[in-house]
Amino acid sequence: MATSSETSININLAFPKAGVTFAVECAPPDKDSGNDSHSFKITATSTENSSALAFTEDTSPQLADWIKGYARWLVRANVTANFSDQGINGTFRSGLSPEQVLSSVNDACDMIRQRFDHYESSVLT
């Protein structure tokens, strides 16, 4: 008998010196849509006042530059993603086990940490 497993993950990665907190979300597939891929989403807020941040040059040149390359890089973490001023939306490769999704989320978070952990001052304008 086959089992059905789902993965639901919400992680807040705070980088107080950079002034940014990233919300990383992974949700189970929407069974009503017939899609069998988990969804993936990243948004950002200010660590100072928890207000939503846009990934634009006006908000932060570093965020605006980073999101473009990061959205493409996510394919290495089994995620096909698109970005907008509000964040990143994507889906995991079809057929991944919960453990593979967890490992991919770990890789995605590690890449964020590699970029934003080293800032000594706020990246926000």
* Residue 112 included in any domain: yes
Structure tokens at 107: 């890789």
Number of domains in the chain: 1
Give residue 10's Cα distance to chain centre: 10
For residue 68, the domain's CATH number is: 3.30.1460
Q: Is residue 75 part of a domain?
A: yes
* Residues 30-88: tens digit of each pLDDT: 777 677 789 999 999 999 999 999 999 999 999 999 999 999 999 999 999 999 999 99
The reported pLDDT for the residue numbered 2 is 46
Output DSSP code: residue 85.
Answer: T
- Cα→Cα distances 121→16, 23, 110, 112, Å: 9, 20, 20, 16
How confident is residue 1, by pLDDT bands cut at 50, 70 and 90? very low
Per-residue model confidence (pLDDT) at position 4: 63
Exposure string over 68-101, b if 16+ CB within 10 A, otherwise e: eebbeebeebbbebebeeebbbbbbeeebeeeeb
34 vs 106, residue with greater confidence: 106
Rounded distance between C-alpha atoms, residue 10 and residue 122, angstroms? 24
The domain of 75 spans: 9-116
Q: 3-class DSSP state for residue 35?
A: coil
Query: Is 73 inside a domain boundary?
Result: yes
Residue 13, domain member (yes or no): yes
